[in-house]
Amino acid sequence: AALIAREAGAATTDAFGRKLDYNKRDPRAFGVIASAPGIHGAAVERLAGRAATIGRKNA
């Protein structure tokens, strides 16, 4: 899904704004944000705190 979104022009990162990297031993990402590039930074700012809270609960 992230590849399709990127090919359509969306910005895609994990929930903390880090680049999605599937070429590693554990390719999982905590949450994926796909949005228009112009609002992606604001979306990450708005959602990263909540993602951190959820991540701590699930750890």
Share of the chain above pLDDT 90, in %: 54
* pLDDT higher than 70, residue 29: yes
Give the pLDDT confidence of 1-21 residue by residue, as tens digits: 889 999 999 999 999 999 988
Confidence of residue 25 (pLDDT cuts 50, 70, 90): confident
Domain that holds residue 52: 2-58
pTM of the model: 0.78
Provide the number of structural domains found in the chain.
1
Q: Residue 26 and residue 22: Cα distance in Å, rounded? A: 8
Residues 6+ apart with CB under 8 A from 32: 1, 2, 12, 13, 14, 15, 20
**24's tokens:** 């590693």
User: Rounded to whole angstroms, what are the CA distances from 9 to 3, 19, 40, 55?
Assistant: 10, 15, 12, 28
The token pair at 32 is 């994926």
Is the per-residue pLDDT at 49 higher than 80?
Answer: yes
